[in-house]
């Protein structure tokens, strides 16, 4: 309890020092340069793209739906002097390859996990790992850490998919239950595969004035072709624990591990107003994690686009504190 109280005081101090101030600024690299700076590697016969900079112990940045490594472009510069920063594009997303014969289940959580875990192995990322994770990328990072705790130096997370012990699995944003239910239907397929709903409405529409035209173009680029190219953004909402029993069990397992992981340092980047952690029960659960510091920053679900420099500074300070 004492450690939690200290963490809360630190969070309040961070707010007072400007943690709630939006910090818009020019992008770290324009869209074309970001694409060109990525490396490529064959994983299970498919191209995976990733951005890499810096040297030393690994700092792995994992994005969620429907973004890419581009999400981290303004945060990585704050910590690239502290380690080897690696930001992959999940399979079928960003500049990673589209899987053949896309359809229901092709981009399942298990598939993404297989590709990401193999990528880390191939890049010799097996020890002293710091994960910086968001959305479904948080699920992947938590899952990895819960199975390989000795390989993980720390976890920084925001807007993460968790499951409160004993609670029924629900969509992470209760207010959007009807929308997420719709994504499970043929009507949802039309919204996403034909209208690119996740990119246009939830990402670009939700961020409004925080994205430049170049940013919008970069987020649209992997999904310009209606239909098959957009399947990753449709499959992800169908993978939520509320709709997938296997993933509900996975989320329950890593959530239980987080609640008892006294030896793994954590940084909870609490986005306000946020989306997932606007759920009071879920927020209370996250705040209960041991060995954790909380910092509050202004922003919605895609908080990295609104307050990247506040996040970057908090992340750098936390990583330096780990020694």
Residue from 78, 301, 305, 309 carrying the catalytic annotation: 301
Q: What backbone torsions phi and psi does residue 42 show, to the nearest 5 degrees? A: -85, 120
Closest CA to 156 of 322, 38, 283, 278: 322
Helix pair 245-260, 109-122: axis angle to 10 deg: 50
- Among the listed residues 159, 189, 215, 239, the single catalytic one is 159
d(CA 136, CA 239): 10
Clarify whether 301 is annotated catalytic: yes
Helix (H, G, I), strand (E, B) or coil at 178: helix
Q: Is the peptide bond before 322 cis (omega within 30 degrees of 0)?
A: no
Q: Which of 35, 52, 135, 200 is catalytic?
A: 135
- Identify whether 135 is a catalytic site residue: yes
DSSP state at residue 289? -
Residue 114's alpha-carbon distances to 43, 122, 186, 318, in angstroms, are: 10, 12, 28, 29
Q: Cα separation of 200 and 263, whole Å?
A: 41
Of 66, 72, 67, whose CA–CA distance to 52 is shortest?
72
Closest by CA position to 109, among listed 143, 58, 77: 143
Q: Which residues are catalytic?
A: 135, 159, 301
């Amino acid at each position: 309890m004492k450690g939690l109280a200290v963490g809360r005081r630190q969070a309040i101090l961070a707010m007072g020092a400007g943690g709630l101030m939006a910090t818009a600024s020019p992008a770290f690299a324009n869209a074309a340069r970001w694409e060109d700076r990525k490396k490529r590697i064959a994983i299970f016969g498919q191209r995976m793209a990733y951005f890499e900079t810096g040297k030393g112990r690994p700092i792995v940045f994992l994005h969620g739906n429907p973004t890419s490594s581009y999400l981290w472009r303004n945060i990585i510069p704050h910590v690239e002097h502290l380690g080897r920063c690696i930001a992959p594009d999940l399979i079928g997303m960003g500049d990673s390859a589209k899987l053949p014969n896309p359809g229901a289940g092709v981009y399942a959580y298990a598939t993404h996990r297989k590709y990401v875990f193999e990528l880390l192995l191939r890049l010799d990322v097996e020890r002293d790992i710091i994960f910086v994770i968001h959305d479904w990328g948080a699920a992947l990072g938590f899952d990895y850490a819960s199975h390989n705790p000795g390989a993980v130096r720390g976890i920084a997370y925001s807007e993460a998919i968790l499951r409160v012990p004993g609670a029924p699995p629900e969509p992470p944003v209760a207010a959007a239950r009807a929308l997420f239910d719709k994504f499970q239907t043929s009507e949802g397929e039309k919204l996403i595969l034909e209208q690119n709903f996740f990119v246009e409405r939830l990402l670009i529409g939700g961020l409004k004035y925080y994205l430049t035209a170049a940013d919008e173009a970069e987020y649209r680029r992997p999904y310009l072709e209606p239909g098959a190219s957009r399947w990753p953004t449709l499959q992800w909402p169908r993978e939520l624990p509320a709709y997938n029993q296997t993933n509900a069990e996975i989320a329950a397992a890593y959530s239980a591990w987080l609640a008892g992981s006294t030896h793994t340092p954590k940084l909870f980047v609490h986005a306000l107003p946020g989306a997932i952690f606007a759920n009071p029960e879920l927020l209370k659960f996250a705040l209960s994690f041991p060995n954790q510091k909380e910092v509050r920053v202004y922003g919605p679900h895609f908080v990295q686009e609104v307050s990247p420099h506040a996040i970057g500074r908090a992340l750098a300070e936390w990583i330096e504190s780990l020694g």
